[in-house]
Amino acid sequence: MTGPGRGHETRQLVDHLFRNRAGQLVAWLTRVFGPAHLQLAEEVVQDALVKALQQWPYSGIPDNPAGWLLRVARNGALDALRRDVSFRGRAGAIAAEIARTADALAGDPVALDGLLRDDELRMIFLCCHPSLPQEARVALSLKTVGGFSVAEIARALLGSDKAIAQRLVRAKRQLRDTGATFELPAGAELESRLESVLEVIYLLFNEGYSAHAGDDLVRLDLCGEALRLARLVAGSATTSAPAAHALTALIAFQTARIPARVDGAGDMVLLEQQDRALWDPHLIALGFAHFERSAAGPVVTAYHIQAAIAAVHAGGHTVTAWAHVLGLYDDLLVLNPSPVVALNRAVALSKVAGPARALAEIAALEGDPALANYFLLPAVKGRLLAEMGDRRRAAASFRAALERACSEPERRWLVRRLAEVETAEITESTESTESTETTESTESTKSTKRLTPGERE
Amino acid sequence: MAKFMLLLYDDPASFATMSPEQIQKVIEKYMAWGARLKKAGVWSASHKLTDEPGKVMRGKGPGVRVTDGPYSETKEILGGYYLIEVESYDQAMDQARDCPHLEYGGTIEVRQVDNMGA
């Protein structure tokens, strides 16, 4: 054995190699063991990763790290089959299948990748089995396909480690008890399962894109994983429905703008202050490619309209075509009449028809229990009031927003806006009319920094 | 120039709950550390020991007893070692100080190879 990096000083691991391979290997072993043995598949793969951690620091990264992991997982799986009596008569056939796949594909990365991708896709569909409650589907997808640890899932979903661990144990037991199979369902069942898969991916993405708690405005990990899964579903002939393309487009557009949404200090940057040169042109191109394919068919889903809104934003290299965005929100509201959509629409309306009209719409939303703890409602209201020069009520709205849960960068943003209107308030009451006017004009310049939930969703 | 062994002990059970991403990050840190040893020209060899505890032999002649082990009171086992060439214990420890092994809760035993004054 040579030492680490000897003669290969530059050999590096591909980003997320372990995460991606772990998901694929778990999927592969779940197929050959059967879904009842998902837990065992996870343990075998974890052991293989740990072996790499124990070996590579001394011997260096092998020439084909993915092949190395496959080989070690293969050996671990064969050992497990010998130990685990629950396989009984099936053990021989399973062992033969494992050896056959691993030996044939270890040296052929392309064929291996194709096979594992296929298994991974089936794995997502298994995680979204109708026998599981939705929260279990999300957690199980993150664990098995996304390669997240229990602690990472708990952080992402704002649950405790213990609760997530229990949720996963229950979900695996449920899959075993229902006798869930690894094959993709067909016909109408495929359609409804696909709907659930897209919903889980959408939730993952939303959780990453607008985390409403914690230190980070965006959890890139979750966004990246959601994009990867969406592309996997949209890229497979069996599952590439127009809605899958629409969702992929939406996620690609939104992810493209992430680098501009947070500044160097981790603070939130609103759409109109964003340096649009930071938007990722490759992801925007990817978004448009999927957006085009989402139009193949008569179906228009909420993903289609949200992707269309995101496309307007992503296509706006200097300014945003707000009238177009407003029209799309009208359509979205018909398909998905939720108060959050209505709030987003109000923001677009304010850009087109002014803050007073938007405030009237928001007033109608204020009693809605679904928005009772949603900090963006008072935050948007505060911005609109500030824009109209009503600093007293703007300050009250920002204070109300600060009482609701939000992420740390969002909280800092609210504190700054509150300070701005409060300073202006004091200036107004203590200084001459002339200086009030000066403050007024400063404030109206600042008011272009508008909070736009439309850019967040 | 003297030779020193860096003996790396750890508790393998501590890896059980790490996510794939975390494991990759840790490996990358070890690689960066190893690359630095090479760049500094102090690396001489490194080997991982197999996972089983090995054998312990005691006694003599026909009375030699062989047991599995060594089992220590702690859960830490000797996972592998690095052989490095530096001037002194201080320099050896300077090289080992930023080894990720310590960051992740492992122990490093530093021993000098005795060259018997040669």
pLDDT by residue (tens digit) across A237-249? 999 999 999 999 9
Using a CB-CB cut-off of 8 Å, the residues of chain B touching A148 are 19, 21
Whether B34 and chain A come into contact, CB under 8 Å, resolves to yes
The yes-or-no verdict on residue B50 having pLDDT over 70 is yes
Tell me the two tokens of residue A377. 């409602």
Q: Give pLDDT, residue A449.
A: 32
Q: With bands split at pLDDT 50, 70 and 90, how would you rate the model's confidence at B51?
A: confident
pLDDT at A216 (0 to 100):
67
Report the DSSP beta bridge partners of residue B68: B55
Task: Give the 3-state secondary structure of residue B82.
Answer: strand
| Predicted pLDDT of residue A264 | 81
Which residues of chain A does B80 touch, with a Cβ-Cβ cutoff of 8 Å?
Answer: 54, 57-58
User: Which of A350, A394, A342, A403 is CA-nearest to residue A372?
Assistant: A403
CA distance A336 to chain B (A): 37
Written as six digits, the tokens of A237 are 């002939």
The per-residue pLDDT for A428 is 54
Is A454 within 8 Å of A380 (Cβ atoms)? no
Produce one character per residue of A143-169: b if its CB has 16 or more CB atoms within 10 Å, e if not.
bbbbbbbbbbbbbbbebeeeebbebbe
Coil, helix or strand for B47? strand
Q: Which amino acid is at A339?
A: P
Q: Using the predicted structure, report yes or no on whether residue B75 has a pLDDT greater than 50.
A: yes
Distance CA A235, CA A168 (A): 28
- Predicted ipTM? 0.90
CA-to-CA dists, residue A440 to A242, A436, A444, angstroms? 49, 6, 6
Residue among A53, A149, A152 minimizing CB distance to B27: A53
Q: Does A8 touch chain B (CB under 8 A)?
A: no
User: So what's the pLDDT on residue A244?
Assistant: 97
Q: Nearest by CB to B35, from A4, A21, A59: name it.
A: A4
Q: Is A52 in Cβ contact with B38 (below 8 Å)?
A: no
Say if CB A163 and CB A228 are below 8 A apart: no
pLDDT category of residue B28 using cuts at 50, 70 and 90: very high
Are B27 and A21 an interchain contact pair (Cβ–Cβ within 8 Å)?
no
Contact A126, A182 (CB under 8 A): yes
**Chain centre to alpha carbon of residue A157:** 11
pLDDT, position A213:
60
Q: Residue B76: helix, strand or coil by DSSP? A: coil
**A14 touching chain B per CB within 8 A:** no
Q: Is the pLDDT of residue B48 over 50?
A: yes
Structure confidence at residue B72 (pLDDT): 57
Q: Is A57–B43 a contact, with Cβ atoms under 8 angstroms apart?
A: no
CA dist A270 and A216 (Å) reads: 15
The gap between the terminal CA atoms of chain A, to the nearest Å, is 51
Q: What token pair was written down for A208?
A: 């990453």
| Amino acid at the residue A283 | L
* The pLDDT value given to residue A439: 30
Q: Does B45 touch chain A (CB under 8 A)?
A: yes
pLDDT of residue A273: 83
At A307-322, the pLDDT tens digits run: 999 999 888 777 788 9
At a CB cut-off of 8 Å and minimum separation 6, what does A33 contact? A40, A41, A77, A87, A94
- Predicted confidence at residue A208, as pLDDT, reads 81
Cα A26 from Cα A30, distance rounded (Å)? 6
B interface mutation test: which of A12, A18, A220 has the most B CBs within 10 A? A18
Angle (nearest 5°) at CA B88 between B87 and B94: 100
pLDDT tens for the 457 residues of chain A, in order: 444 444 445 578 888 899 889 999 999 999 999 999 999 999 999 999 999 999 999 999 998 898 899 999 999 999 999 998 888 888 999 999 999 888 887 777 788 788 888 899 999 999 999 999 989 999 999 899 988 888 888 877 777 899 999 999 999 999 999 999 999 999 999 999 999 999 999 988 987 887 656 666 667 778 888 999 999 999 999 999 999 999 999 999 999 988 888 888 878 888 888 888 889 999 999 999 999 999 988 889 999 999 999 999 888 777 788 999 999 999 999 988 888 899 999 999 999 999 999 999 999 999 888 888 888 999 999 999 999 999 999 999 999 999 988 888 889 999 999 999 988 666 555 544 333 333 333 333 333 333 334 444 3
Closest C-alpha to A206, from A192, A191, A232, A225 = A225
Q: What does the pLDDT read at residue B73?
A: 57
Weakest mean pLDDT among A106-120, A391-405, B14-28, B46-60 = A106-120
What distance lies between CA A83 and its chain's CA centroid? Answer: 39
- Tell me which H or E stretch contains A37: none
